[in-house]
A and B are shown apart, each in its own frame.
Chain A
């Protein structure tokens, strides 16, 4: 099968400091709740802890059910890695559509206001060659998708900033138990 690959750079801005945006960026489990218009379910399959203890995980394997066109359920598999401070790498593949995205997601302090953060995503998309005429539409859909998610994430960041001001310390932590842990526990018995 022949494939077509193209690159997209997506830029969004948050009105919150980089450490708060970084918390939100590492958390994937909020996707089906905070972004329920575009995602309907998320499963954490396997998690490798961060040996430094500075991040809630180092590598995560996940399965996510996206809503294509806002209603069509499409399930993808992905691997996500915290590659460094303020940098995440992610690969996601949809086996049905044979579409693959490779993402390098970075955060930078905004130059004009260091209390704001620029989110820059470098995305490489690989699709079957038949999708080549849809490249412009796929690019526009990706831009729209990340812009909407960034806007929705601002409520998360606003609340985290508010808690910080009130001196309430509830650090970022994984919410669910990875499926692998349950499988492994079952096999042990």
Chain B
């Protein structure tokens, strides 16, 4: 999922690590949220907040480093 925030293109996985809901980005609050169960992560930190479960699978939302080349192409670091 690509989005624009603070003058930068950013990228993160659109799949919630819990049950796969399509994650939503709230650039005003700077958070990524799950519309099904309320999982929340701060954009840039990749750590999941507000989630009491200790299961390691649910504790991170994959976020990617984004770079732009001279032609304006967007490159994601895997």
* Contact in complex: A33, B20 (CB < 8 Å): no
Residues of B within 8 A of A160 (CB): 19-20
Beta-carbon nearest neighbor of A176 in chain B:
B52
Given A29-B37, A33-B38, A34-B35, answer yes or no on A176-B53 (Cβ-Cβ < 8 Å).
Answer: yes
Number of A residues with CB within 8 Å of any CB on chain B: 18
* Cβ 8 A contact of A175, one of B15, B20, B35, B37: B37
**Shortest distance from the beta carbon of B3 to any chain A beta carbon, whole Å:** 19
Number of B residues with CB within 8 Å of any CB on chain A: 17
* Cβ 8 A contact of B37, one of A30, A163, A168, A171: A30
A32 to B36, CA, bound (A): 9
B21: interface (CB < 8 Å): yes
Residues of B within 8 A of A182 (CB): 52
* Contact in complex: B19, A172 (CB < 8 Å): yes
A142-170 residues at the B interface, CB under 8 angstroms: 156, 159-160, 163, 168, 170
* Cβ 8 A contact of B53, one of A33, A34, A159, A175: A175
* Contact in complex: B52, A177 (CB < 8 Å): yes
Residues of B within 8 A of A163 (CB): 15, 20
* Contact in complex: B53, A177 (CB < 8 Å): yes
A30 to B16, CA, bound (A): 13
* Contact in complex: B18, A170 (CB < 8 Å): yes
**Shortest distance from the beta carbon of A40 to any chain B beta carbon, whole Å:** 12
A34 to B21, CA, bound (A): 11
A156 to B16, CA, bound (A): 12
**Shortest distance from the beta carbon of B40 to any chain A beta carbon, whole Å:** 11
Given A29-B37, A33-B38, A34-B35, answer yes or no on A168-B53 (Cβ-Cβ < 8 Å).
Answer: no
* Contact in complex: B18, A168 (CB < 8 Å): no
A160 to B53, CA, bound (A): 22
Beta-carbon nearest neighbor of B15 in chain A:
A168
Instruction: List 20 additional contacts besides A33-B36, A34-B36, A172-B19; criterion CB under 8 Å.
Output: A30-B37, A32-B38, A33-B35, A33-B37, A34-B35, A156-B21, A159-B20, A159-B22, A160-B19, A168-B15, A168-B20, A170-B18, A171-B19, A175-B18, A175-B19, A175-B53, A176-B37, A176-B53, A177-B52, A177-B53
